[in-house]
Amino acid sequence: MTDDWMTRAEAICMLCGGNCCNGAQPPISEERYKRLVAQGVPDAIFGQDGYRFVKTRDDGTCMLCKGGKCSIHAFKPETCIAGPFTFDVTADSIRIFLKYETICPMVRLLKEFPEAYDQQYATAVGNITRLVSDLRENELAVICQIEEPETEIVAEIPRVYQAQHDDRH
């Protein structure tokens, strides 16, 4: 990515002020949970209602969002790293969606720079597939019931089951 792209991307995120953090309760895998706690994130930040997630404040913002920015950007949840891509799971596939620009103004910039789009898409797919393989089926079922309006499907990829998780199905 060029310096111009990075400058524009940073400006877009700063102007947005963390819209992606509003109403977000990103799922947290056990591995990510342990990493966040080891980094000093208090256990009280996390909730559990069918799956483990980061809680929101009374105003709906993520408890880890401070001043319109993620306070744990370097090791944030998998779905936050994947943004503005999101997912849904079927029995045999993972459907990848891109949020509309009304949700994430970064989408326009990604579409202007195919190299950046491809890089973020690859990052998203890696994080989403890892998260899906790490979560239990009952957790995924709850997560996939959460509506994510203003998205468009951009891919459907095979769901890979790992033998280590067979006892979770």
C-alpha triplet 17, 154, 86: angle, nearest 5°: 40
Burial of 146 (0-12, 13-18, 19+ CB in 10 A): middle
29-62 pLDDT, tens digit per residue, is 999 999 999 999 999 999 999 999 999 999 998 9
The tally of domains found in the chain comes to 1
Cα–Cα distance, 124 to 70 (Å, whole number): 17
Mean predicted lDDT score pLDDT of the chain: 87
Residue span of the structural domain in which 74 resides = 3-168
Q: pTM, whole model, 2 decimals?
A: 0.87
What's the Cα-to-Cα distance from 32 to each of 38, 105, 168, rounded to whole Å? 10, 27, 18
